[in-house]
Structure 1
Amino acid sequence: MVLGKVKSLTISFDCLNDSNVPVYSSGDTVSGRVNLEVTGEIRVKSLKIHARGHAKVRWTESRNAGSNTAYTQNYTEEVEYFNHKDILIGHERDDDNSEEGFNTIHSGRHEYAFSFELPQTPLATSFEGRHGSVRYWVKAELHRPWLLPVKLKKEFTVFEHIDINTPSLLSPQAGTKDKTLCCWFCTSGPISLSAKIERKGYTPGESIQIFAEIENCSSRMVVPKAAIYQTQAFYAKGKMKEVKQLVANLRGESLSSGKTETWNGKLLKIPPVSPSILDCSIIRVEYSLMVYVDIPGAMDLFLNLPLVIGTIPLHPFGSRTSSVSSQCSMNMNWLGLSLPERPEAPPSYAEVVTEEQRRNNLAPMSACDDFERALQGPLFAYIQEFRFLPPPLYSEDPNVPWLLCVDSDEQQCGIVKALGKETVILSALEASTRSPLCPALMRRGSFPLP
């Protein structure tokens, strides 16, 4: 008898969504079929499936042992989420080559169904990183007598859902920073930066509305910018390896001395990226919005606002619980924001991100020059109209006190006060006539006068 051949062995999943992408969550039942096509009759000992989900990290570091001796230190760690095995044809023992242990499969196409349930405990979201990954897969193995087994592995995606409608992710994020440039005995005016975003949680495909005010009282030309960063952290053997990658960025207008720029909801779109991973013990993926001022010849002025990229999009206000709406309203009042009813909710993560896009790693950040790269694709998605009441400029605040200050090299002290677009700096002699505290200033800092 002439034995046939295996023409194809494939795995297909029964998808739970309309996009025909195999996406699952904790507690879901993963079902599918192993498709076998043969030409002629074949004898089979067994057809098995093996399903597994695990997170794994690995990296190496070079160590110097002295005396011109170096070695490589390996760091590896693994967490298993589930491990399932099943036999679709035959029996457990693959080393049994007796005639009684064979199953005959006739020519044609054959389907063998399988199913298993994912654990109810939280699972890490599928992820491919620089030094680690979170993977879920099903492997089929066809064993035949006196022949090598035919093996096939196919991955599926798991999302540990993050609902951005929770109060902690609806709370606005804000911050303020300033910087004074010093060169030897000369001190220029301050550069001040304040920024706000309406909430902490977003989903891919949304645009972050950035409200910011940048005031340049220095003598240099500065440029305000903003960027979204992804930070991947990998843990093994008590060590941590971190990778920071640029996701998206934008650039404002250059500011000359004495100028101010205001961003009234400047849009920065979130491209298709992996959701935040916050519950895995060996891999952590976090995001942040960095609003900063590019200062030539000096350290930039940075302001970091944390972000969480979720999978369940924002619901209209009307569909939220009263507690969530109350929490959001309270925080909005604190920031001086007034939001109207939201439009239609943005798309969910699964609707925006394709399987191919999820597998593509982000381009790593090589240097600060990467900020200059333009974000590809349309930046404008949807502008939500609402009023923003920014705080007064530092120079416009009538309550700004006179400040005693010492410059960075601790060689000069004086009193400064912002007056309109100018800054008055009194000498140490003039300062001593206005305040008895000036002789006591022997350390760096600024102190309000009584």
Structure 2
Amino acid sequence: MVLGKVKTLAVCFDYLNDNNVPVYSGGDSVSGRVIIEVTGEVRVKTLNITARGVAKVRWTESRNAGANTAYTQNYTEEVEYLNHSDTLIGEERDEDSPEEALTVLNTGLHEFAFSFLLPQMPLATSFEGKHGSVRYWVRAELYRPWLLPFKVKKEFTVFEHIDINTPLLLAPQAGTKDKTLCCWFCASGPISLSAKIERKGYTPGESIQIFAEVENCSSRVVVPKAALSQTQTYFAKGKARQLQQQMAALRGDTIPQGKSQSWDGKLLHIPPVSPSILDCPLIRVEYSLVVYVDIPGGLNLSLSLPLVIGTIPLHTFTNRTSSISSYCSTISWPERPEAPPSYSDLLVTEEQRWGCLERCEGSEVNEEDQGTLRAYITEFRYQPPPLYSEVDPNPEPGCGGQEVRRPDLCPSR
């Protein structure tokens, strides 16, 4: 008897984004299919899937301890966010046993659906770095009698959403620094730098408006610059290791001595970068806008403004609210408001009331409604307001109808 062969074993996800990449977040349902293509007749014991999510950190440090001796220390840590398994064909796999029931797959394509829920807790965003990573995947394992298992793994992406429409991330960021250059024989004037941005939170694809002022009172020619900096921090065994990268940069014009330069909303575009990772115990990914003055032959004057790269962009109504607020601040309101109308202007005269009755009698309503309406209008009178009295006509229990000199001593109804 000629046994069949497995041509294809693949994992496909049902939900894909615009780039055909499966993207999920905490609490979402992950669903998909395991596709098996066979030729001939294939006997299967079990088909299992395993979903896992792991944050892993690893780096090595070496130290020389003498002429010919080197000391090497490995730092490794791992945190598990997801561990789910399910059996799509057969029962839980056991050692090869003739009593196990087998499932026969004939020639063609066979699909087996799967689904599971991601944990409701905050999950670390998928990330790939030099010394660590955060990965999520689904592994399918096909077991057949007397043959090695057939395995395939497919990764999916998890985003821990960061909404930049929060008061903390919408707050402006600003700072000021100055520096004086000097040497053994001379001293020059200071170089001052001030910078401001509209908010702290941004999303990839946006541009940061930079407002900056640089004053060069030194004897050197300097250049203002700005850069988007990413800082990756890895933690393992009580130690930390950092890696900094420049993701985007821009350059201003040179500033001769005694001159100054202003940036009135100079734009720095944010490229496609990983969102900030702030809650993972092993990996942190942080961003900052570094505005600095490049000083030839000296240390740069640098100013760092913290940033958070989020996943939920700025709402349109937020921009509209800020524009309305700025518009209202420019309106010149009258110094004194208009006085309200007097009570006599609102008083209904007897002629107006009888005119209302005549109009009601001429309208097309039944006699019962006319009588009710006439009785209501006849009885209704606009009486003048009661005269003011310092004695409360309806005193609270315990007040005894005493004179009310202060409202807080005996509040009236």
Structure 2 CA distance for aligned equivalents of residues 228 and 17 of structure 1: 27
Give yes or no for contact 1:76–1:236 (8 Å, CA) kept in 2: yes
For 1:54, the equivalent position in structure 2 comes to: 54
Give yes or no for contact 2:224–2:293 (8 Å, CA) kept in 1: yes
For 2:293, the equivalent position in structure 1 comes to: 293
Cα deviation for residue 275 of structure 1 reads 0.1
Structure 1 CA distance for aligned equivalents of residues 177 and 232 of structure 2: 26
Q: Which amino acid aligns with 2:288?
A: S
The alignment status of 1:196 with 2:196, answered yes or no, reads yes
Give yes or no for contact 1:164–1:170 (8 Å, CA) kept in 2: yes
Cα deviation for residue 318 of structure 1 reads 5.2
- The 5 Å alignment of 1:340-419 reads none
For 1:104, the equivalent position in structure 2 comes to: 104
For 1:31, the equivalent position in structure 2 comes to: 31
For 1:168, the equivalent position in structure 2 comes to: 168
Cα deviation for residue 319 of structure 1 reads 8.5
Cα shift readout 1:51-96 (whole Å, capped 9, x = no counterpart): 0011000000002344632121000001101100111111212422
Give yes or no for contact 1:25–1:118 (8 Å, CA) kept in 2: yes
Give yes or no for contact 1:140–1:152 (8 Å, CA) kept in 2: yes
The alignment status of 1:147 with 2:147, answered yes or no, reads yes
Give yes or no for contact 1:46–1:94 (8 Å, CA) kept in 2: no
Structure 1 CA distance for aligned equivalents of residues 216 and 196 of structure 2: 18
For 1:255, the equivalent position in structure 2 comes to: 255
Structure 1 CA distance for aligned equivalents of residues 16 and 27 of structure 2: 13
Cα deviation for residue 258 of structure 1 reads 1.0
The alignment status of 1:134 with 2:158, answered yes or no, reads no
Give yes or no for contact 2:202–2:307 (8 Å, CA) kept in 1: yes
Structure 2 CA distance for aligned equivalents of residues 105 and 40 of structure 1: 8
Q: Indicate how the Cα distance of structure 1 residues 339 and 8 shifts in structure 2: closer, same or farther if over 3 A, else same.
A: farther
Q: What SS does the aligned partner of 1:101 have?
A: coil
Structure 1 CA distance for aligned equivalents of residues 170 and 11 of structure 2: 41
Structure 1 CA distance for aligned equivalents of residues 208 and 97 of structure 2: 64
Structure 2 CA distance for aligned equivalents of residues 198 and 147 of structure 1: 63
Give yes or no for contact 2:205–2:272 (8 Å, CA) kept in 1: yes
For 1:74, the equivalent position in structure 2 comes to: 74
Q: What SS does the aligned partner of 1:234 have?
A: strand
Cα shift readout 1:192-234 (whole Å, capped 9, x = no counterpart): 1100000000000000010101111111010000000110000
TM-score, normalised with respect to structure 1: 0.70
* Structure index of larger Rg: 2
- The 5 Å alignment of 1:415-426 reads none
Structure 1 CA distance for aligned equivalents of residues 139 and 187 of structure 2: 67
Cα deviation for residue 45 of structure 1 reads 1.1
Q: What SS does the aligned partner of 2:169 have?
A: helix
- Unmatched segments (≥5 aa) in structure 2: 331-413
Give yes or no for contact 2:96–2:146 (8 Å, CA) kept in 1: no
- Unmatched segments (≥5 aa) in structure 1: 330-337, 342-386, 388-450
Q: Which amino acid aligns with 1:211?
A: F
- The 5 Å alignment of 1:211-360 reads 211-317=211-317
Q: Indicate how the Cα distance of structure 1 residues 200 and 319 shifts in structure 2: closer, same or farther if over 3 A, else same.
A: closer
Q: Indicate how the Cα distance of structure 1 residues 221 and 340 shifts in structure 2: closer, same or farther if over 3 A, else same.
A: farther
Give yes or no for contact 2:195–2:212 (8 Å, CA) kept in 1: yes
Q: Indicate how the Cα distance of structure 1 residues 33 and 339 shifts in structure 2: closer, same or farther if over 3 A, else same.
A: farther
Cα shift readout 1:296-321 (whole Å, capped 9, x = no counterpart): 0000000000000000000023599x
Q: Which amino acid aligns with 2:166?
A: T
Cα shift readout 1:71-129 (whole Å, capped 9, x = no counterpart): 21000001101100111111212422426432111110000000110000000000000
Structure 2 CA distance for aligned equivalents of residues 3 and 111 of structure 1: 21
Cα shift readout 1:313-349 (whole Å, capped 9, x = no counterpart): 00023599xxxx6xx89xxxxxxxx8679xxxxxxxx
Cα deviation for residue 141 of structure 1 reads 0.5
Cα deviation for residue 46 of structure 1 reads 0.9
Structure 1 CA distance for aligned equivalents of residues 22 and 101 of structure 2: 35
Q: What SS does the aligned partner of 1:147 have?
A: coil
Q: What SS does the aligned partner of 2:148 have?
A: coil
Cα shift readout 1:273-304 (whole Å, capped 9, x = no counterpart): 00000000010000010000000000000000
Give yes or no for contact 1:16–1:24 (8 Å, CA) kept in 2: no
Structure 1 CA distance for aligned equivalents of residues 275 and 57 of structure 2: 18
For 1:113, the equivalent position in structure 2 comes to: 113
TM-score, normalised with respect to structure 2: 0.76
Structure 2 CA distance for aligned equivalents of residues 209 and 65 of structure 1: 51
For 2:348, the equivalent position in structure 1 comes to: none
Q: What SS does the aligned partner of 1:156 have?
A: strand
Q: What SS does the aligned partner of 2:130 have?
A: coil
Give yes or no for contact 1:221–1:296 (8 Å, CA) kept in 2: yes
Structure 2 CA distance for aligned equivalents of residues 211 and 339 of structure 1: 18
Q: What SS does the aligned partner of 2:256 have?
A: coil
Give yes or no for contact 1:45–1:94 (8 Å, CA) kept in 2: no
Q: Which amino acid aligns with 1:168?
A: L
Structure 2 CA distance for aligned equivalents of residues 42 and 227 of structure 1: 59
For 1:398, the equivalent position in structure 2 comes to: none
Structure 2 CA distance for aligned equivalents of residues 186 and 179 of structure 1: 15
Structure 2 CA distance for aligned equivalents of residues 179 and 8 of structure 1: 66
Cα shift readout 1:336-369 (whole Å, capped 9, x = no counterpart): xx8679xxxxxxxxxxxxxxxxxxxxxxxxxxxx
Give yes or no for contact 1:9–1:152 (8 Å, CA) kept in 2: yes
Structure 2 CA distance for aligned equivalents of residues 70 and 18 of structure 1: 51
- Equivalences, count: 328
Structure 1 CA distance for aligned equivalents of residues 203 and 318 of structure 2: 20
Q: What SS does the aligned partner of 2:124 have?
A: coil
For 2:335, the equivalent position in structure 1 comes to: none
Q: Which amino acid aligns with 1:139?
A: R
Aligned-residue sequence identity (percent) comes to 74
